[in-house]
């Protein structure tokens, strides 16, 4: 039974040796006295009658957590290379390969370098030989890969695993090394450089160039080699038909307004004329108008209008007062009265209001609900018959209850207030929204969801906050400086429930968990 144990700044995966276990002492000696590539550093301790084998996994997370999200080339190749190195190293150190635990929960990876280490349990038992090729195939089929990069390496790995009759760790390591060297960034850089350095290759077959009637065919004017760029030659300027264009005003072109529209504006202007309009439409009458306008402007008077541009005035007949028109008689109705009241005002002899227009205006005011200014509102007691007839009823009570009583709305339960779970970083009062089922915190930018850039005491992958069915848990991911909840250090890789208001400390960085 393997369990995690925190000791100082280190996190160990501990195996307690039982009395029935038959230790492979030679393999145990190789593990404890050597630093074997691909295998976790191993310690053997004894306390009274209890014996333990401890594996240092500080600062590393399980591959099952590492592959819980889309995996890129670097992570997959790093984990696979670590597994291959562990198997090859076991053969070199005369350790049985079936003693290596091939379980993604007990294979640990560094989130920064993506290197992985495996656990070797030197206990002599009847174990079946492990099919390492099948193990790699299962990982390829259950893993979700990052589609934002070139995924040709996936096809190479799967083709090798399916095509080779006898799986060879050495050949597979060679394939992984070639994939590791050909990263997507270098491939993109090579493609980009080739596009800029290689000369352009022109087509080897004649191309048909469509030109205007004035331009000759390129194949007729340049009958040399087709490999050269095809250029269309235009006819000499002397052969072109001259096009007479009218002078266009630059000011009109600048504001996307045609000269014709400018002229129409100036011609249709009845009261004043500008210098531009005088120049464009010069006449004695316009010159006199411009001079009179300029003189009136200095004297503060309205310039006169020429008789040719004067229009006859129209007679406006309306019941409403029009600015500039003589006052008229206006009929309006008072609410709750059928006969309109006539407000007599002085009226000119020339202004006549039609009878049908009066009737329309009278009916409009009868429908209006706005009381006139002269009428004072009448205040009545609520007990009067009129007030009972106009009553709008009692206030509607939410959630039932007797009419006339005020119902107190129930307080929102705490479960309904869980809307935005977040962390408050005490250092700068930053609000960190927990918007993922598994929210990662650490200082490895490419792996975590919240990047702690200004605290070196926090591990690359320090802790995860997990949400499940409305509850929240925090898990320390083998950090070196550990995780604390309300001042108590929690066990690594064990879920600890957190509630609203809990104080969380990652190394020496304080946070506060909030549900709303």
* Confidence check: pLDDT of 116 > 50: yes
Report whether 171 contacts 104 (CB < 8 A): no
Give the range with max mean pLDDT: 165-169, 294-298, 327-331. 165-169
Residue bearing the bigger pLDDT, 369 or 310: 310
* Residue 136 pLDDT greater than 70, yes or no: yes
Query: Do 1-180 and 416-514 agree at the fold level?
Result: no
pLDDT at 224: 42
Of 18-22, 41-45, 121-125, 242-246, the one with minimum mean pLDDT is 242-246
Q: CATH number of the domain at 1-180, out of 3.40.50.300, 3.40.50.970, 1.10.510.10, 1.10.10.60?
A: 1.10.510.10
Please provide residue 330's backbone torsions phi and psi, each rounded to the nearest 5 degrees: -120, 130
Average pLDDT over residues 391-413: 49
Residue 401 φ/ψ region, left for φ over 0, alpha for ψ in the -120 to 50 degree band, beta for the rest? left
Q: Is the pLDDT of residue 270 over 90?
A: no
Given a cut of 90, whether residue 108 has pLDDT beyond it is: yes
Question: Residue 131 above 80 pLDDT?
Answer: yes
Phi, psi of 450 (to 5 degrees): -125, 120
If phi > 0 it is left, if psi is from -120 to 50 it is alpha, else beta; for residue 124 that is beta
> Mean pLDDT across the chain, nearest whole number?
74
Quote the pLDDT of residue 307.
55
Tell me the percentage of the chain whose pLDDT exceeds 70: 59
Going by pLDDT thresholds of 50, 70 and 90, the confidence category of residue 49 is confident
Tokens 């996190």 map to which residue? 11
Domain segments of the chain as ranges: 1-180, 416-514
In Å, how far are 300, 424, 500, 514 from 421, measured between CA atoms? Answer: 72, 10, 9, 6
Closest CA relative to residue 320, chosen from 279, 277, 351, 281: 351
Take residue 17 and report the two structure tokens written for it.
């040796």
Check residues 512 and 414 and name the one with the higher pLDDT: 512
Q: Cα 387–389–391 angle (5° rounding)? A: 65
pLDDT attached to residue 318: 46
Task: Say what percent of the chain tops pLDDT 90.
Answer: 47
The whole-angstrom separation of Cα 461 and Cα 491 is: 15
**Is 167 or 354 the better-scoring residue by pLDDT?**
167
Whether the pLDDT of residue 498 is over 50: the answer is yes
pLDDT reported for residue 378: 44
* Distance between CA atoms of residues 168 and 84, nearest Å: 10
Over its C-alpha atoms, the chain yields an Rg (Å, rounded) of 46
pLDDT in the model for residue 306: 56
Residue 107 clears pLDDT 70, i.e. is over it: yes
CATH code for residues 416-514? 2.60.200.20
**pLDDT band (50, 70, 90) for residue 282:** confident
pLDDT of the residue at 291: 83
Reduced to 3 states (helix: H, G, I; strand: E, B; else coil), residue 476 is strand
pLDDT at 323: 55
CA distances from 251 to 248, 257, 259, 263 (A): 9, 8, 9, 13
pLDDT tens for 7-41 read 999 999 999 999 889 999 999 999 999 999 999 99
β pairing state of 438-442 and 450-451 = parallel
Q: How many CB atoms lie within 10 A of CB 492?
A: 21
Between 327 and 211, whose confidence is greater?
327
Tokens of 116: 């992985």
Q: Which residues pair with 512 in a beta bridge?
A: 424, 503
Query: What distance in Å separates the CA atoms of residue 29 and residue 215, rounded to the nearest whole number?
Result: 90
| Structure tokens that stand for 42 in this block | 């191993």
Q: How confident is the model at residue 289 (pLDDT cuts 50, 70, 90)?
A: confident
138-174 burial string, b = 16+ CB within 10 Å, else e?
A: ebeeebebeeebeeebbeebeebbeeeeeeebeebbe
Residue that wins the pLDDT comparison between 429 and 239? 429
> Average pLDDT in the 299-312 region?
58
- pLDDT, tens digit, for every residue of 451-474? 999 999 999 999 999 999 989 999
Q: Assess whether pLDDT exceeds 60 at residue 475.
A: yes
The answer to whether residue 257 scores a pLDDT higher than 50 is no
pLDDT above 70: residue 189: no
């Amino acid at each position: 039974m393997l369990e995690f144990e925190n000791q100082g700044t280190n996190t160990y995966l501990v195996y307690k040796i039982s009395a029935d276990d038959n230790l492979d002492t030679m393999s145990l000696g190789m593990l404890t006295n050597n630093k074997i590539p691909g295998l976790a550093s191993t310690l053997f301790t004894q306390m009274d009658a209890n014996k333990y084998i401890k594996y240092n996994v500080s600062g590393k997370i399980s591959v099952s957590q590492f592959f819980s999200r889309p995996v890129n080339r670097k992570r997959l190749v790093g984990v696979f290379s670590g597994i291959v190195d562990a198997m090859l190293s076991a053969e070199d150190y005369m350790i049985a390969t079936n003693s290596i635990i091939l379980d993604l929960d007990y294979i640990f990876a560094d989130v920064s370098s993506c290197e992985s280490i495996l656990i070797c349990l030197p206990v002599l038992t009847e174990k079946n030989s492990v099919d390492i090729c099948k193990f790699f195939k299962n990982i390829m089929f259950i893993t979700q890969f990052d589609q934002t990069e070139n995924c040709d390496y996936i096809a190479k790995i799967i083709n090798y695993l399916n095509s080779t009759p006898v799986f060879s760790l050495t050949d597979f390591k060679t394939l992984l090394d070639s994939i590791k060297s050909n990263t997507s960034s270098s491939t993109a850089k090579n493609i980009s450089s080739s596009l800029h350095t290689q000369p352009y290759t022109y087509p080897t077959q004649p191309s048909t160039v469509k030109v205007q009637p004035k331009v000759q065919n390129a194949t007729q004017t340049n009958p040399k080699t087709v490999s050269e760029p095809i250029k269309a030659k235009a006819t000499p300027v002397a052969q072109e038909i001259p096009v007479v264009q009218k002078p266009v005003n630059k000011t009109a072109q600048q504001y996307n307004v045609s000269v014709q529209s400018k002229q129409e504006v100036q011609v249709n202007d009845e009261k004043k004329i500008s210098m531009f309009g005088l120049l464009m439409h010069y006449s004695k009458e316009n010159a006199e108008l411009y001079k009179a306008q300029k003189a009136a402007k200095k004297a503060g008077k309205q310039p006169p209008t020429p008789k040719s541009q004067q229009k006859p005035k129209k007679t406006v007949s309306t019941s409403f007062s029009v600015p500039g028109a003589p006052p008229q008689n206006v009929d309006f109705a008072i609410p709750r009265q059928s006969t309109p009241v006539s407000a007599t005002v002085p009226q000119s002899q020339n202004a006549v209001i039609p009878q049908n227009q009066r009737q329309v205006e009278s009916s409009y005011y009868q429908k209006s609900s706005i009381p006139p200014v002269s009428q004072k509102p009448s205040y009545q007691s609520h007990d009067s018959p009129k007030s009972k007839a106009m009553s709008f009823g009692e206030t509607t009570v939410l959630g039932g209850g007797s009419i006339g009583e005020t119902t107190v709305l129930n307080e929102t339960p705490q479960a309904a207030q869980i809307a935005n779970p977040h962390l408050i970083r005490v250092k700068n009062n930053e609000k960190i929204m927990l918007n993922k089922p598994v929210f990662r915190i650490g200082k490895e930018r490419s792996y975590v969801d919240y990047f702690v850039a200004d605290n070196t005491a926090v591990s690359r992958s320090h802790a995860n906050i997990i949400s499940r069915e409305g509850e929240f848990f925090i898990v320390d991911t083998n950090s070196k400086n550990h995780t604390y909840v309300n001042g108590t250090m929690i066990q690594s890789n064990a879920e600890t429930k957190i509630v609203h208001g809990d104080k969380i400390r990652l190394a020496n960085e304080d946070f506060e968990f909030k549900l709303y």
